[in-house]
Amino acid sequence: MPIAIRPTVLADGRELIYFDDADTALSPERKPDTRPLEARPETATMRQDVLTGEWVSIAAARQNRAQLPPAEFDPLAPQSPTNPSEIPDVYDVAVFENRSPSFGPLLAPAAPDAPHDLDDLAQLGLNRTRTSVGRCEVVCFSPETNGSLSQLPESRMRTVVEAWSQRTAALSELPGVQEVFPFENRGEAIGVTLHHPHGQIYAYPYVTPRTTSLLRSIDQYGPTLFADVLEHERTGPRVVLASESFTAFVPFAARWPVEIHLLPHRQVPDFAALTDDERDELAGVYRRLLRGVDALYDDPTPYIAAWHQAPVNVGRDTVRLNLQITSPRRAATKLKYLAGSEAAMGAWIGDLVPEQSAAAIREAVERA
């Protein structure tokens, strides 16, 4: 039985999509959301930093989001008589529009003062503003209040990969969206506000600063940048896990104490371009990799899992889908903090030798 996709809407009109595991035991019927909800907040406004040209979304409604609530009021658990959560019924994986988004809900061209195009955003001037068109979605990996993505069965991980793929395709089609970014923040040391196992997807109205820098590097180096990096790493000492279609490695110039990159072996711009066989394989590889990260120490490792994808309208033939897992954990009881040099100047100092870090992660993956 294939993974089923069941779209519906919440009481305030936000979209909710259920993704049922291929081996699900759930009924296809789901309860409606009958909560009396307030109107959605106004769309945030972006302001341009004239010193860098970068855009900053001022999203004051985010101040009202839940902050580590007790388990009985988990807003990502299925609704109950005492918990009016965001998801009205049982689920395997669920994706819904964030109630307090950084981007959206109004989309170009309907939004006032929406960005015209990338050329418009690239112009520089004092006090420039644009509406923060786009979309922010929450991806719930499990109905359980606690747990982690790595501990879910492989069939559930495959459902999560399918959700990322389907949502990447759908969000890329929205007016004004220039880049789609699935990610997971895991652990209080990273700043999570909910313990429930979940991730997010941001659909930006611009090409992000990190991706803009990558595009500049490709322009300078040439279109084979990702292929050459992969070829070099696959025969080197920093590989931590490899399969038929994917290789994970610690990068040559790792910034973080724990930093792992994963690349597909062929040019794939985003999740939506993966074949079904590649999605099957990725589910197993990613699960093994996360289990290895958690096996580094006696308790779970805080991390950011960032899925970098090609922008919607540029770099499709040269930017390759790539995962970057980073953790500030430099020892069992020590964290790396971004202080003066990193935070203020963007000048990084690594705490660990990448080859030694790779050996530790490789051993943890094998142990896990």
Catalytic residues: 198
> Which of 192, 175, 174 lies closest to 183 in space, CA to CA?
192
156: left (phi over 0), alpha (psi -120 to 50) or beta: alpha
Alpha-carbon distance of 82 to 70, in angstroms, equals: 13
* Phi, psi dihedrals of residue 19, rounded to the nearest 5°: -115, 110
Angle at 348 between CA 345 and CA 351, to 5 degrees: 145
> Which of 227, 293, 236, 292 lies closest to 264 in space, CA to CA?
227
- Tell me the β-bridge partners of 145: none
Q: What is the DSSP letter of 80?
A: B
The DSSP annotation for 322-336 comes to EEEEEE-EEETTEE-
Token look-up 């990969």 returns 161
Alpha-carbon distance of 234 to 249, in angstroms, equals: 8
CA distances from 73 to 16, 66, 85, 86, 148 (A): 20, 10, 7, 11, 19
| Burial of residue 167, with CB atoms counted within 10 A of its CB: 0-12 exposed, 13-18 middle, 19 or more buried | buried
